[in-house]
Amino acid sequence: MNTAVVVFPGSNCEHDVVYALETLGGSADLVWHRDTDLSGYDSVVLPGGFAHGDYLRTGAIARFSPVMGEVNRLAAAGAPVLGICNGFQVLCEAGLLPGVLLQNRDLKFICRPIHLRVESTDSILTRAARVGDVLEIPLNSYEGNYTASADEIASIETGGYVPLRYSSSTGTVDTDSNPNGSTNNIAAVSKSNVAGIMPHPERAIEEILGSADGRVLLESFLQSRVAVNV
Partner 1 sequence: MSETMPLHQALGMTDDEYGTVCDLLSRPPTEAELAMYSVMWSEHCSYKSSRAFLGRFPTTAPWVVVGPGENAGVVDLGDGWLAALRIESHNHPSFVEPYQGAATGVGGILRDIFTMGARPIALWDQIRFGPLDDPHNRYLLEGVVAGVAGYGNAVGVPTVGGEVAFEECYAGNPLVNVMCLGIMREEQLVLGTAGTPGTIAILLGSSTGRDGIGGASVLASASFDAGSDTKRPTVQVGDPFEEKKLIEACLELYDRGLVVGVQDLGAAGLSCATSEPAARAGTGMDVNLDAVHVREAGMTAAELLMSESQERMMAFVHPSKVDEVLAVASKWEIDASVVGTVTAGDTLRISHNNQVVAELPAASLSEAAPILRRDSGEPFWLEDLWTNTLEYLQPPDITRCLLEILADPSIGDPSWVYEQYDHQLFLNTVVGPGDNGSLLRIKGTNKALAVSTDGNGRQCYLDPMRGGANLVYEAALNVAMLGAKPMAVVDNLNFGNPEKSEVMWQFIETVEGMSQACENLGIPVVGGNVSFYNETDEADIYPTPIVGVLGLADPAPRSVPRLNRAEAGMALWMFGPKNSRNLAGSSFEKIIKGHVGGRPTGADSTTGKAVIELAVALAQNELVPVMHDISDGGAAVTVSEICIASNVGAHLQYSSWIGLFAEAPHRIIAAVPPEHFTAVRRLAEDLGVPVSELGEFGGDRISFDNPVAGATSVSVDKAAEAWRGAIRSRMSH
Is residue 93 part of the annotated active site? The answer reads no
- Angle, alpha carbons 135-225-36 (nearest 5°): 115
User: Closer to partner 1 at the Cβ: 111 or 131?
Assistant: 111
- Nearest approach, Cβ of 200 to partner 1 (angstroms)? 8
Report the alpha-carbon angle 156-66-230, nearest 5: 60
Binder of partner 1 out of 115, 117, 200, 215 (CB under 8 A): 200
Residue 25 found at the interface with partner 1 (CB under 8 A)? no
- The yes-or-no answer on residue 33 being catalytic is no
183: left (phi over 0), alpha (psi -120 to 50) or beta: beta
Choice between 79 and 110, CB closer to partner 1: 110
**Binding status of residue 168 toward partner 1 by CB under 8 A:** no
Beta carbon nearer to partner 1, 93 or 119: 93
Q: Quick check: helix, strand or coil at residue 179?
A: coil
119 catalytic per annotation:
no
Residue 13, H or E segment:
none
Contact (CB, 8 A) for 154 and 119: no
Among 112, 130, 132, 229, contact with partner 1 (rule: CB under 8 A)? 112
CB 21 within 8 A of CB 3: yes
Please list every residue from 41 through 70 that binds partner 1, using CB under 8 A: 49-50, 52-55
What element of type H or E holds 44? Answer: strand 41-46
108 is a site residue for partner 1 (CB under 8 A): yes
Q: Could you tell me which of 96, 29, 101, 100 has the C-alpha nearest to residue 63?
A: 96
By beta-carbon proximity to partner 1, the closer residue of 27 and 32 is 32
Residue 93 interacts with partner 1 (CB under 8 A)? no
Q: Counting contacts by CB under 8 A, is residue 203 touching partner 1? A: yes
Burial class of 212 by CB neighbour count within 10 A (0 to 12, 13 to 18, 19+): middle
Which residues carry out catalysis?
85, 200, 202
Query: Which residues contact partner 1 (rule: CB under 8 A)?
Result: 9-10, 12-13, 15-16, 19-20, 32, 49-50, 52-55, 108-112, 138, 140, 142, 200, 202-203, 206, 208-209
